[in-house]
């Protein structure tokens, strides 16, 4: 059995505070037996993408910045795998929404840069982030083969399928999603259930474990869209069943997984066996008339 920790937390008031608070929660997750620990999306600060303001680019860090350095030190000390979400400054004028992965010996395994960048009311991410060009990597950690996707990626079936075909046992989704305050009453429950449904479907369709970790808290003011991040982080088994689900407050969600269930599920529901790869060539087209 493997223990996973999803750190469902508030964004920091500034990058230093956010990082220090996350490290405290990582230590606590280790005390509870976690072996792989994942943060929510852009945990070091508030979700600045709910408004357009160039001042927020000052919050970006290089890939080898303070988050990675701290995670490498802590991962080695605690013998845990760490997945962290950062606002990456790749070079002047080029920024990404990036996940870093550190193995349990403190070694840096690599990064994934968010491929699908949203542009919606309250989620002005195209202003800040360039899409990544890394083709959905697998990270072979000491405890598991994992894939990492980020938030808006979770609505697309193709990345999850590619990671499963590459051998991922667990797909992690660091996330920042919530209700626009003015929409919650009309659409809130439907939005939440759709978010859970699509990721449970990824687990079932691909026979993998899925771990989605969201932030919490009400953010925004008169200059920006107000968003209530709903939390509800969860861990799903390859059959699409909830292993464990968080509430709407800050918490560390601990869940146990048994990799034997991957093979048992795929034997009984052999979607990978029955795929008609000879018929799918048109999938790379934007639209088929």
Which sequence positions are flagged as catalytic? Answer: 41, 114, 151
As a whole number of Å, the CA-based R_g of the chain is 18
Distance CA 66, CA 59 (A): 12
Residue 257 Cα distances to 6, 63, 254, angstroms: 13, 30, 10
User: Measured at the alpha carbon of residue 13, what is the angle toward residues 97 and 102, in degrees to the nearest 5?
Assistant: 45
Q: How many CB atoms lie within 10 A of CB 280?
A: 9
**Degrees (nearest 5) of the Cα angle 263, 152, 225?**
145
The continuous run of DSSP H or E covering 213 comes out as strand 209-213
Integer Cα distance of 162 and 36 in angstroms: 22
DSSP 281: G
DSSP state of 187: H
Q: Which residues share a beta bridge with 170?
A: 146, 209
- Say how far apart CA 125 and CA 17 lie, in whole Å: 23
CA 32 – CA 73 distance, rounded (Å)? 19
Please choose, from the candidates 223, 199, 196, 217, the residue with its C-alpha nearest in 3D space to the C-alpha of residue 209. 199
> Tokens standing for 49?
């993408």
């Amino acid at each position: 059995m493997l223990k996973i920790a999803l750190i469902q937390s508030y964004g920091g008031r500034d990058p230093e505070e956010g990082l220090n608070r996350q490290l405290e929660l990582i230590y606590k997750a280790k005390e509870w037996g976690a072996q792989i620990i994942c943060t929510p999306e852009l945990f070091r600060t508030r979700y600045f993408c709910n408004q357009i303001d160039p001042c927020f680019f000052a919050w970006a860090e290089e890939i080898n910045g303070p988050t990675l350095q701290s995670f490498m030190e802590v991962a080695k000390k605690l013998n845990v795998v760490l997945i962290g979400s950062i606002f990456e400054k790749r070079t002047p004028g080029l920024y990404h929404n990036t996940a870093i992965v550190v193995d349990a010996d403190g070694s840096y395994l690599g990064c994934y840069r968010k491929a699908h960048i949203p542009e919606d009311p309250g989620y002005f991410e195209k202003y800040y982030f360039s899409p990544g060009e890394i083709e959905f990597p697998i990270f072979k950690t000491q405890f598991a083969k994992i894939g990492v996707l980020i938030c808006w990626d979770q609505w697309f079936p193709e990345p999850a399928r590619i990671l499963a075909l590459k051998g991922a046992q667990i797909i992690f989704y660091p996330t920042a999603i919530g209700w626009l305050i003015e929409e919650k009453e009309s659409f809130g429950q439907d939005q939440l259930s759709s978010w859970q449904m699509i990721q449970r479907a990824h687990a079932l369709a691909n026979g993998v474990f899925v771990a989605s970790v969201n932030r919490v808290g009400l953010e925004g003011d008169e200059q920006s869209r107000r968003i209530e991040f709903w939390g509800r982080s969860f861990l799903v088994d390859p059959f699409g069943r909830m292993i464990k689900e968080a509430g709407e407050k800050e918490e560390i969600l601990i869940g146990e997984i048994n990799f034997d269930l991957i093979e048992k599920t795929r034997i009984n529901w052999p979607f990978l066996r029955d795929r008609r790869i000879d018929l799918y060539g048109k999938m790379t087209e934007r639209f088929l008339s």
